[in-house]
Amino acid sequence: MDYFATCPKGFESLLASEMRDLGIHKPRPLQGQVSFSGQLRDAYLLCLWSRLASRVVAILGRFDATDANALYSGASAISWEDHVLPDATFAVDASGTNAKLKDTRYTALRVKDAIADRLALLGRHAITDPKNANLRVVVRISRNHATVGIDLSGLPLFAREHGKKTSQRGLRADYANALLRLGGWSHEQEPKQTPLVAMGQYPDVLIVEAALTSAHYAPGLMRRHWGFDRWAMHNSKVWDSLVKEAKDRMNPDAELPLAYRSFAKGTSRAKIMLRTLGINANVVPLSSFIEKKLGKTPTLIADLSDVRADEIMREASWLQELLRAARALEPARTAVAARNMLPEAYLAQPCDESLHSIRGRDELLLISFGPYAPSDDQCKVVLNQKTVVSTLVPGSEQFAARLKKVAKARAKWARREDVSCYRVYDADLPDYAVSLDLFEGLDPKAATPDGTRWLQIYEYAAPKSVDLTLAQSRLMDVLAIAPKVLNVPPNNTFLRVRRRDKGGSQYASEAKAPRMYSRTTRRGEVELPPGAHLIDEGGLTFEVNFSSRLDCGIFLDHRETRAMLREMAKQTKGSKRFLNLFAYTGTATCYAADGGMRYTTTVDLSRPSLDWARRNMARNGFEGKEHEFVQADVVSWVQEQRHTKNRWDLVFCDVPTFSNSSRMGRRSFDVQRDHVELLIGVSRLLTKSGSCVFSCNLRSFKPNEAALAKAGVRIHDITEQTIPEDFARNKRIHHAFVVTRER
């Protein structure tokens, strides 16, 4: 008979090689499958032993399928009475389309009708059960041809019975075995003398599959049910003999050293999985493996595929782990699953083989290397006598030198000015277009176990003219160098990418966020949300969070602006009323209240931001009915307040460049287009001697002074006075103005 075995994209050559190892002659790799001809025993052998195939299908017929009628006729010609037992329940699975057969459900229905009608002519009743069928018919449409067969596997071959009892996270079994095979682990080899080191966020499946291979444990022995159980042509004698041979080959007592390094918290569950299978394996952490010298030339397998595209900081950390492991172990072979070719650059080794596949919706690369040999050509940056960092780009040494120089000068300035949170680097070198903000924690008890210093890295998205791989390599070098120079633990380093946004995305995502109130403990302290930390600025306490949103909760470039607001508040006479528009986390409100403003109103469209502002105010002792928090679209709210008697002595209005949140209930907001309307409205909310500090971060912003003057609004540029020293390189980080109303 003819058969085909399906597999993930890119696995075809590996699966064909595995078939040859099993003794199957002349396998033919096709797209997403490998076909072969042979005896039923060959198909059983593949079901029992294959670690790469997804399903094995026995082909019953191939015929034209130009339309539904041709499909029905071809399926009716197959002698289904020779395949479907009288008490069997069957279902039809269809894949592929053509010009006439565009719906796979309809294709499956027509084949099901053909089977039922043929059996009915013989006086038999067809029993269908789409969900729990014990016999599955497979239909594949390719152009104008159809291939029909019986799925011999039942559940996919990569589905493991032991996975039901213990949590299986990480690579799927077939992907894990493909990676192991690239690393040199296959049926014909005897890897007993070769220890294995598996790295990844969840390396359990890698460890288990390696142990199964080493113990000659056929993965099919874990199964209780097969797709051929209710197939009329099933030969139980042949199957039972293969099962007996497989059990005889097992060697569950092989004491092969297996080491793991998990990037996630917790211990490996591989021991539990292997114990349920009756396999004795010496599974130890990587640190113990190195300390006890359990193997001189192990095989190194690393799964870096779990990192998402936006988790560049985590990817850099994992790549550094891979490099350190390779240097410590000098493995005989290395195989890595990753999203890109960065492992090749980090290891500075040419890959022997690379395999392109797909995992879910993401592209996946499987890369293998020969014996590891440290390269003299690998870039290294010497930071001090004890610290050497491996880099990908030669120019990164210049970045390290610049950062060391600037960091030393900036730290001296910060101590003199009593500043604990400041910008260290801001794209000083054009090729390294990032900004680095350093934060010192206020309370060591509230800090993470890794320390009280945090580093926030913002990458400015590279223009299309810059090579993407080069830009990514430079960023990886920044992530490796900056924490070392600034003495920040890698776990306390966070990366964000600044891109030109369409607006409204921040509010849209926050609208569904759960509400967090400012609850106080018995000691009167405000509860600190998960992932948040406390910092000090200007004698006030603020909450920051580096992992929840793009911005951490405080804009450092407005440090001088906030201090100016406090001084203006001290000089304000009268009712002492302060209004904060587009308030974000209310840091300006805290400064104004600290300057003596008795009544404050904080307005923002984001509910989580207002909850954050409440916590900031409460931590600094500003609570009560005199401090109001309003969730509203600012522009609409300002127009509404013009028709009330509410007036304020001091207003701070730090506007977004653009916003089009659906919750605004009107057209989008563009600061250049709409600032005149907004400032006229704000000026009407000022008391007779009141003033407004207006700011925006649109670099090209130019106020329409003529239109404002016509409405009796005066605007005075104070940008120069509000730029802190640590932002002096970028004079256009923001614009600031004092707005008053002519009487």
Any residues with CB less than 8 A from the CB of 293 and at least 6 apart, and which?
A: none
d(CA 612, CA 633) in angstroms, rounded, equals: 18
- Beta strands of 38-134 (E only): which ranges? 55-64, 89-95, 127-128
d(CA 354, CA 200) in angstroms, rounded, equals: 19
Q: Which domains does the chain have, with CATH numbers?
A: 2-151 (3.30.2130.30), 161-216+251-369 (3.40.50.150), 379-499 (3.30.750.80), 532-741 (3.40.50.150)
d(CA 21, CA 17) in angstroms, rounded, equals: 6
Percentage helix, strand, coil, to 5, in the chain?
A: 35, 25, 40
Using CA atoms in the order 685, 687, 690, 691, what is the torsion angle rounded to 10 degrees? 10
Report how far apart, in Å, the C-alpha atoms of 648 and of each of 211, 626, 711, 741 are.
Answer: 73, 13, 19, 13
Q: In Å, how far from its chain's centre is CA 688?
A: 53
Closest of 257, 160, 248 to residue 211, by C-alpha: 257
Q: In Å, how far from its chain's centre is CA 79?
A: 51
Residue 149's pLDDT is what?
Answer: 97
3-state SS of 646-657?
CCEEEEEEECCC
- The upper half-sphere exposure of residue 693, i.e. CA atoms within 13 Å in the direction of its Cβ, equals 27
DSSP secondary structure letter of residue 231: B
d(CA 533, CA 520) in angstroms, rounded, equals: 16
Residue 507's pLDDT is what?
Answer: 39
Residue 509's pLDDT is what?
Answer: 41
Residue 480 in tokens: 């490796």
CB 249 within 8 A of CB 188: no
User: Phi/psi of residue 201, each to 5°?
Assistant: -65, -40
Residue 732's pLDDT is what?
Answer: 87
Residue 391's pLDDT is what?
Answer: 84
- Work out the number of other CB atoms within 10 angstroms of the CB of residue 375: 12
Only one residue has tokens 């440090």, namely 559
CB 300 within 8 A of CB 334: yes
- Work out the number of other CB atoms within 10 angstroms of the CB of residue 308: 10
Residue 217 in tokens: 């444990």
Residue 169's pLDDT is what?
Answer: 74
Residue 399's pLDDT is what?
Answer: 95
Which of left, alpha, beta for 458 (phi over 0: left; psi -120 to 50: alpha)? beta
Mean pLDDT taken over the chain: 88
3-state SS of 677-737?
HHHHHHHCCEEEEEEEEEEECCCCCCCCHHHHHHCCEEEEECHHHHCCHHHCCCCCCCEEE
Residue 462's pLDDT is what?
Answer: 73
Closest of 562, 595, 559, 563 to residue 577, by C-alpha: 595
Q: Which residues pair with 93 in a beta bridge?
A: 138
Closest of 487, 504, 498, 387 to residue 440, by C-alpha: 487
Kindly give the pairing relationship between strand 196-200 and strand 145-151.
Answer: unpaired
CB 506 within 8 A of CB 664: no
Kindly give the pairing relationship between strand 196-200 and strand 299-303.
Answer: parallel
d(CA 194, CA 336) in angstroms, rounded, equals: 18
d(CA 205, CA 198) in angstroms, rounded, equals: 9
Residue ranges, the chain, pLDDT below 70: 161-168, 186-193, 254-255, 265-268, 294-295, 309-310, 375-378, 443-451, 498-524, 661-667
